[in-house]
């Protein structure tokens, strides 16, 4: 069996961090198994779906490095749904129901008031031909429900949650088609998974009850049931479900200057027993991905942790990986000098401006002026090579008696305008002799 996974977003909005995690895990499992990762756009909601959102989703996946091996759109597959729906209707596994939303809501409230589960009572199965004719004479069109088999429990071994068991008598027969003929999520998804050869369905734990009903749909259509894995949902840093997680997407991460691998490094292992580490490429994440590492405890997403991880990854990036994103004129030596001080690659531009100037003249203590002028004179006579900072500071220490902060800080302030930054031994050669002498002239 070829392992085949799928990511099935609805193009009615942008991807958020929870979507990204699901896509990543499906991609990782397919790549580890030597299988296929498919993209399916669940665009049956024709009014809310848009090409712009679909393009945004595909652009986000590409930026994250999650390239897919095939693509489908549900809006192209309506004929297939009709054919399978007709087959289920012929065997009595789908049936029409005429209750209005208000009538169903009232029934649910009555059941809840009696302390009973609000399960649909299958009243539609008892309708006579005359009752159906009367409803249709009123102008009612039926919605359609999938008839669950009540004779045996629904059981499967979830790859994350272990054995799952549902009593179908405690589940409502799910509505699979609205009265206007449009499709709800459950049945088309099953039909697509069968047709696309999906072997593993990996998604959030909020779909567990959907899986129970969908398993019977696979069986009713005579198809093998895929393996299922349901992940714990993400929580915010405050320890509870956060609405903010629904607004954090690729655009937010890109604007913050985050690397795709920082996002992948965090989300690949979030909620697992494996350590979260900075990785510069996907290979170790693919090799180590395993459902057995994931538990049922909520997975805590922390933007601060992501930023720290990003900083570590930036410090791992070679010049070749970032050259096309660096300011003009910034070479490998400059990248290596500046990189240890960066939180994002974009921050290199700020440090490069320190190198190329002009810089804001620092406020100097009066006693530092003679010291800096002495530094200027020494530098004017020095050989300006890779060892120039060391020779300058040694000479100044011997001639002035200064050491430590009193020696180094005035020089850094005069040369960079800042109290901190990259190693001056690497930075000074980048600034250049003529510019350094000019900055030391006070």
Q: Are 429 and 386 in contact (CB under 8 A)?
A: yes
From residue 237, alpha-carbon distances to 230, 234, 271, 299, 307 in Å are 22, 10, 13, 10, 13
Give, rounded to a whole angstrom, the gap between the first and last alpha carbons of the chain: 75
243 is in an annotated binding site: yes
The C-alpha atoms of residue 119 and residue 170 are separated, in whole angstroms, by 6
Q: What angle do the packed helices 208-220 and 186-195 form, to 10 degrees?
A: 60
Contact 221, 84 (CB under 8 A): yes
Minimal CA–CA distance to 313: which of 338, 337, 342?
Answer: 342
Distance of CA 125 to the CA centre of its chain: 44
Q: How far apart are alpha carbons 239 and 261 in whole angstroms?
A: 25
C-beta separation of 186 from 225 below 8 A: no
DSSP 417: S
Residue 175 Rama label (left phi>0; alpha psi -120 to 50; beta) = beta
DSSP per-residue letters across 152-204: S-EEEEETTTEEEEE-GGGSPPPEEE-TTS-B-SHHHHHHHHHHTT--EEEEE
Beta bridge partners of residue 200, listed in sequence order: 227
Q: State the Cα–Cα distance between residues 317 and 330, nearest whole angstrom.
A: 15
- Tell me the C-alpha distance between 46 and 44, whole Å: 5
Rounded Cα distance, 6 and 193, in Å: 8
Q: What value does the CA radius of gyration of the chain take, rounded to a whole number of Å? A: 32
Vertex 116, ends 114 and 122: CA angle to 5°?
115
Using DSSP bridges, classify how beta strands 175-177 and 143-146 pair: parallel, antiparallel or unpaired: antiparallel
- The DSSP annotation for 235-288 comes to E-TTSS--GGGGT--HHHHHHTT--HHHHHHHHHHTTBSSPP---SSSHHHHHH
Where is the binding site for ATP, in residues? 243
Which positions make up the binding site? 243
């Amino acid at each position: 069996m070829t392992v085949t996974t799928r990511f099935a977003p609805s193009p009615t909005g942008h991807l958020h961090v929870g979507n990204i995690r699901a896509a990543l895990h499906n991609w990782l499992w397919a790549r580890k198994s030597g299988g296929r990762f498919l993209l399916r756009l669940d665009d049956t909601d024709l009014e809310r779906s848009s090409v712009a959102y679909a393009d945004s989703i595909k652009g986000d996946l590409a930026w994250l490095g999650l390239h897919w091996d095939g693509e489908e759109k549900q809006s192209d597959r309506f004929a297939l749904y009709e054919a399978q729906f007709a087959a289920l209707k012929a065997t009595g596994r789908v049936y029409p129901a005429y209750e209005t939303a208000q009538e169903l809501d009232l029934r649910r409230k009555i059941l809840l008031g009696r302390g009973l589960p609000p399960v649909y009572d299958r009243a539609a199965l008892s309708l006579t031909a005359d009752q159906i004719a009367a409803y249709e004479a009123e102008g009612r069109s039926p919605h359609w429900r999938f008839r669950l088999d009540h004779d045996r429990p629904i059981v499967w071994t979830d790859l994350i949650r272990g054995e799952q068991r549902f009593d179908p008598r405690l589940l409502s027969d799910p509505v699979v088609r609205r009265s206007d003929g449009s499709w709800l999520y459950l049945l088309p998804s099953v039909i697509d998974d069968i047709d696309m050869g999906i072997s593993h369905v990996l998604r959030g734990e909020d779909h567990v009850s959907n899986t129970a009903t969908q398993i019977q749909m696979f069986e009713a259509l005579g198809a093998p049931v895929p393996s299922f894995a349901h992940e714990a949902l993400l929580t915010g840093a405050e320890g509870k479900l956060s609405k903010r997680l629904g607004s954090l997407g690729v655009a937010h991460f890109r604007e913050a200057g985050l690397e795709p691998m920082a996002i992948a490094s965090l989300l690949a292992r979030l909620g697992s027993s494996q350590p979260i580490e900075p990785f510069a490429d996907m290979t170790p994440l693919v090799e180590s991905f395993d459902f057995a590492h994931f538990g049922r405890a909520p997975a805590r997403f922390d933007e601060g942790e992501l930023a720290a991880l990003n900083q570590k990854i930036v410090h791992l990036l070679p010049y070749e990986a970032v050259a096309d994103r660096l300011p003009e004129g910034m070479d490998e030596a400059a990248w290596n000098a500046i990189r240890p001080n960066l939180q994002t690659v974009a921050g290199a531009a700020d440090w490069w401006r320190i190198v190329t100037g002009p810089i804001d003249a620092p406020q100097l203590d009066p006693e530092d002026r003679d010291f800096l002028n002495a530094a200027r004179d020494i530098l004017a006579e020095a050989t300006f090579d890779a060892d120039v900072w060391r020779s300058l500071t040694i000479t100044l220490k011997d001639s002035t008696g200064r050491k430590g902060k009193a020696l180094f800080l005035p020089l850094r302030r005069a040369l960079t305008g800042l109290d901190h930054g990259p190693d001056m031994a690497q930075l000074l050669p980048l600034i250049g002799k003529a510019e350094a002498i000019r900055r030391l002239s006070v």
